Amino acid sequence: MAKKTFKIGEYCKGGVITVEITGKKIAVIGKDWDTSAGWTKGSSQVNAKEWTRLEVLATENDVFWSLKEFLEDLTTSWWSDQVIKWIESKVDLKPIWPC
């Protein structure tokens, strides 16, 4: 299982995005910043409260666009691209057009 927490802060609704990849299943979780752990990017956001989630399979035809649309609703296009690049480094997303 691959897991990464992006502590984006003011450029993201809630401030935190966590991605969990298990096999071909991708979960993108929007969380509220846990201020009890601190305000800095170095603070642990393990206990941050989840408020939205998208779960998709890497084998779905429109997986890239589903992720892009969900992430761009949470954060900027730049951060969305960074999260998707990390996902693509861990799992192969099915191509949009069949070869």
pTM of the model: 0.88
Sole residue written with tokens 């900027």: 76
Mean pLDDT across the chain: 90
CA nearest to 33, candidates 18, 54, 20: 18
CB of 88 closer than 8 Å to CB of 53: no
Digit-coded pLDDT (tens) for 42-82: 677 788 899 999 999 999 989 999 999 999 999 999 999 99
Tell me 55's DSSP state. Answer: E
